[in-house]
């Protein structure tokens, strides 16, 4: 059975104290569920403390929101995968549309980052997704497949099986607009079929694919009920315990 995940991406939100308070609330308010994992993608200032705070909670892990593609060097302001690994981080979010847009991260660069993360023992949560224009023009499936082909489809089967994919329609990130459950299922199935074509059906069936794009308590159950949607990468709703906890519990009803 594929691992199901409720992952929160805090982005550049929460000062240190408010972030610590949120972690406390989530630690107290979330419950362990078979086959379900909660991942908190916090800003860098929280990472070490977050790892320590959740060390005794088996169902919660911490993710960084980025890492550099090089092992070390003169890259002022950057953080390496080995630095993250050294403080107990297990996951790293790579390829988010905001990194692609604002920091001009290409598919090729992201492929290097994924490789570095894997070589260091981190599990990448690799994001892909299309803009509204691309969807309206009807080539969203081809566009997303191209993102995968030019980045993570160059991995060996063994390494690819360590990657988590997050499908994020850019037109639904932070807009309040959510892909319908049917639209989410359609694209998740397209991604799974692309994986089967590249590797094999067994690998495709084992790959966890998350949906990201204005996930909230009101739509989480319907989204997570889709056969190829294995959870969510949640933005704004992950910043409050009262909205993120119900999302983590949506799997009970899905």
Task: Identify whether 96 is a catalytic site residue.
Answer: yes
- Mind listing the pLDDT tens digit of every residue in the chain (254 residues)? 899 999 999 999 999 999 999 999 999 999 999 999 999 999 999 999 999 999 999 999 999 999 999 999 999 999 999 999 999 999 999 999 999 999 999 999 999 999 999 999 999 999 999 998 999 999 999 999 999 999 999 999 999 999 999 999 998 887 777 789 999 999 999 999 999 999 999 999 999 999 998 899 999 999 999 999 999 999 999 999 999 999 999 999 98
Instruction: Specify the number of domains making up the chain.
Output: 1
CATH number of the domain encompassing residue 248: 3.20.20.70
Closest to 204 in 3D by CA, of 213, 219, 192 = 192
Phi, psi values for residue 214, rounded to 5°: 60, 45
Among candidate residues 96, 98, 105, 188, the one labeled active-site is 96
Among candidate residues 105, 140, 168, 188, the one labeled active-site is 168
Print the SS3 string covering the chain. Answer: CCCEEEEEECCCCCCHHHHHHHHHHHHHHCCCECCEEEEEECCHHHHHHHHHHCCCCCCEEEEECCCECCCCCCCCCCCEHHHHHHCCCCEEEECCHHHHHHCCCCHHHHHHHHHHHHHHCCEEEEEECCCHHHHHHCCHHHHHHHHHHCCHHHCCHHHHCCCEEEECCHHHCCCCCCCCHHHHHHHHHHHHHHHHHHCCHHHHHHCCEEECCCCCHHHHHHHHCCCCCCEEEECHHHHCHHHHHHHHCHHHCC
Single pTM value for the model: 0.97
Please give the residue range of the domain that contains residue 98.
Answer: 4-252
């Amino acid at each position: 059975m594929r691992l199901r995940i409720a992952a929160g991406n805090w982005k550049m939100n929460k000062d240190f104290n408010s972030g610590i308070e949120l972690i406390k609330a989530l630690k107290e308010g979330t419950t362990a569920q078979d086959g379900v994992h909660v991942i908190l993608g916090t800003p860098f200032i929280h990472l070490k403390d977050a790892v320590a705070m959740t060390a005794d909670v088996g169902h919660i892990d911490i993710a960084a929101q980025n890492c550099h593609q090089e092992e070390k060097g003169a890259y002022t302001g950057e953080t390496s995968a080995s630095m993250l690994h050294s403080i107990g981080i297990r996951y790293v979010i790579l390829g988010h549309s905001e990194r692609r847009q604002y920091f001009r991260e290409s598919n090729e660069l992201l492929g290097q980052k994924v490789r570095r993360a894997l070589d260091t023992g981190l599990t990448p949560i690799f994001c892909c997704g299309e803009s509204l224009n691309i969807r309206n023009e009807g080539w969203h499936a081809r566009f997303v497949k191209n993102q995968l082909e030019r980045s993570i489809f160059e991995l060996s089967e063994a390494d690819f099986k360590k990657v988590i994919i997050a499908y994020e329609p850019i037109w639904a990130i932070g807009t309040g607009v959510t892909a319908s459950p049917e639209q989410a299922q359609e694209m998740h199935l397209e991604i799974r079929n692309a994986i089967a074509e590249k590797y094999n059906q067994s690998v495709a069936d084992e790959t966890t694919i998350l949906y990201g794009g204005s996930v909230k308590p009101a739509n989480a159950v319907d989204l997570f009920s889709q056969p190829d949607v294995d959870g969510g990468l949640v933005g704004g709703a992950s910043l409050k315990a009262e909205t993120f906890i119900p999302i983590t519990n949506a799997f009970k009803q899905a």
